[in-house]
């Protein structure tokens, strides 16, 4: 059975390692990273359906050239795989927003 002193030494060693890796592990988030969705068609519905589990960061991190089909697959995945509370008839409306706002149909990129 290790002495108490030894246990404390091991524990503080682990803490030092944790602190050191925390300092090294610096994550650079994309510039446009945001917690809210960009203005666009049916933003209210998007906010109601797509902020339940995570911020808008995941959408902002997607490649800007994503076509409508890919966004539709993304919205469908949120519903089918992660159980997002989205009605079937809302998928098209949500997809339209993402294609036009974050996808390759956006007129002007920030
Ligand atoms: C029921 C919870 C929930 C809701 C609601 C939700 N998501 Fe997600 N979303 C997740 C989870 C879980 C992940 C995966 C996170 C991870 O991999 O760490 C995710 C990841 C993502 C990603 C990253 C790419 C990927 O496929 O992993 C995007 C983009 C995304 N969500 C968009 C949306 C959009 C758009 C909506 C609204 C239509 C939405 N989410 C609603 C749970 C949800």
pLDDT in tens, the chain (110 residues): 556 666 666 666 666 666 555 566 666 665 555 689 999 999 999 999 999 999 999 999 999 999 999 999 999 999 999 999 999 999 999 999 999 999 999 965 45
Ligand 1 binding pocket includes 66 (Cβ within 6 Å):
no
- The confidence score (pLDDT) of residue 66 equals 95
Asked if 81 contacts 74 with a C-beta cutoff of 8 angstroms, the reply is no
Ligand 1 binding pocket includes 51 (Cβ within 6 Å):
no
- The confidence score (pLDDT) of residue 95 equals 98
Q: Which atom of ligand 1 is nearest to the CA of 49?
A: 37
List all residues 6 or more positions away from 24 whose beta carbon is below 8 Å from its beta carbon: none
Mutate to test the pocket of ligand 1, among 54, 59, 75, 87 (most ligand atoms within 8 A of CB): 54
- The confidence score (pLDDT) of residue 35 equals 82
């Amino acid at each position: 059975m290790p002495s108490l002193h030894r246990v404390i030494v091991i524990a503080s060693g682990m803490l030092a390692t944790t602190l050191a890796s925390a300092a090294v592990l610096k994550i650079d988030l994309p510039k446009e990273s945001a917690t809210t969705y960009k203005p666009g068609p049916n933003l209210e519905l998007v906010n109601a359906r797509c902020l339940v589990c995570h911020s808008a960061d995941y959408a902002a991190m997607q490649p800007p050239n994503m076509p409508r089909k890919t966004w539709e697959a993304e919205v469908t995945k949120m519903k089918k795989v992660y159980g997002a509370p989205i009605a079937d008839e809302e998928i098209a409306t949500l997809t339209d927003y993402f294609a036009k706002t974050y996808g390759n149909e956006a007129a002007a990129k920030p």
